[in-house]
Amino acid sequence: MKIQKAFLKNRMSKTLYNYPQNTKAGDKDFKISFSVSALEEENAEEFGGETLSSYHLLLEGRGKYDYRDGRSLEAKLLDIHSCEEGENLKVTGEGRLFHMTMDGGVRGFIRILKPEQMLSMRIGEGVGDCVMAFLGIDGGFRLEVDGEAVNCDRDEAVFIEMKNREFGQLKLWPEQPGMTIVSANSVMLSPYDFGKYIGVRFLERGDGTCKARLDVRPEHMNPIGTVHGGCLFTLADAACGIAASSTGGICTTVNSNIQFLNAAFYPKYLTAEVKPKKIGHKLRDFQVEIRDDKERLICTVDFVFYSLQK
């Protein structure tokens, strides 16, 4: 385990943290980067690429997100926006933008925490190295992992790096109840990403939500000419796993149930959309709807996840 701090106080654009260290965007082995950008109206910050995905969070000021497909969204303070693999995004405005950029087999998310008291969670991954970041927005906090502690003032960030199958207990004490803390988490999944192996591509990710797409190939079909039920479940499971993880802590599936409503005869693609039903302290319920390229509802899948976060 490794812990280090970075300062966000000046308005210059800079990289805060790279993993692996001493790499930069464009390097062959570039995997993940946390950065802050000073936005300008005339010069757009550009993100995206075939293997890149990123999350963006406006820390102060105002801004606008322009996607290659023509979407244009207002950047509001502390609203989280994603740029998925294969997309391109331009950001303009006036203020500061925090973003994490991931390459290849890396999955991650950003959450907004408002703890009223000490927060405790189990951290680490069993399938790859992981990196976590915590930022104090309107106050400071104290963070401790297995006895190693660090104090973080407002407008500072703490980064925690953990190796594959290294686990720890994280405790976080806010300077004042209900203050805003940004939590970002990433894990190096490759080659442990079955969903990506069969072709699942994420379209949108949010706090407890996810939308994913699978372009149907011949190997996804069964002998009677419909998409195999196991393929449908994998699409739902991959999307719901992202949604569950975004709610915080390490989550594991404890129950799932799939209802096949219509046969998927040779669709061009399938889209899965995850919506939370109830996010409890320990149990988190979701429903996934899978539709074909004609918007016909193919199946619904219910999931119950258990959170190992205290």
Domain boundary among the residues 50, 78, 103 is at: 103
pLDDT score for 116: 92
Domain range holding 48? 2-103
Do residues 184 and 200 both lie within one domain? no
Q: Would you tell me how many other CB atoms lie within 10 Å of the CB of residue 109?
A: 22
Higher local confidence (pLDDT), 166 or 12: 166
Domain boundary among the residues 145, 171, 188 is at: 188
Do residues 168 and 202 both lie within one domain? no
- Is the backbone peptide bond immediately before 177 cis, with ω within 30 degrees of 0? no
Whether the Cβ atoms of residue 106 and residue 188 lie closer than 8 Å to each other:
yes
- Report, in angstroms and rounded to the nearest whole number, the Rg of the chain calculated over CA atoms: 20
85/106 Cα distance (integer angstroms): 11
219/221 Cα distance (integer angstroms): 5
Do residues 96 and 119 both lie within one domain? no
CATH of the domain at 266: 3.10.129.10
Q: With a cut of 80, say whether residue 269 has pLDDT above it.
A: yes
Domain count, the chain: 3
Q: What are phi and psi of 43, to 5 degrees?
A: -115, 115
Q: With a cut of 80, say whether residue 153 has pLDDT above it.
A: yes
Least confident of 18-27, 40-49, 257-266: 18-27
Give residue-wise pLDDT tens across range 198-217.
999 888 888 889 999 999 99
Mean pLDDT, residues 150-164: 92
What is the phi-psi region of residue 254: left when phi exceeds 0, alpha when psi lies from -120 to 50, beta otherwise? Answer: alpha
Mean pLDDT, residues 286-309: 93
Whether the Cβ atoms of residue 5 and residue 142 lie closer than 8 Å to each other:
no
Q: With a cut of 70, say whether residue 249 has pLDDT above it.
A: no
Give residue-wise pLDDT tens across range 54-97.
999 999 999 999 998 888 999 889 888 888 888 899 999 999 99
Strands 269-279 and 283-292, by their bridges, are: antiparallel
pLDDT score for 256: 95
Residue-averaged pLDDT of the chain: 89
- Is the backbone peptide bond immediately before 191 cis, with ω within 30 degrees of 0? yes
Do residues 199 and 296 both lie within one domain? yes
Confidence of residue 190 (pLDDT cuts 50, 70, 90): low
2/287 Cα distance (integer angstroms): 37
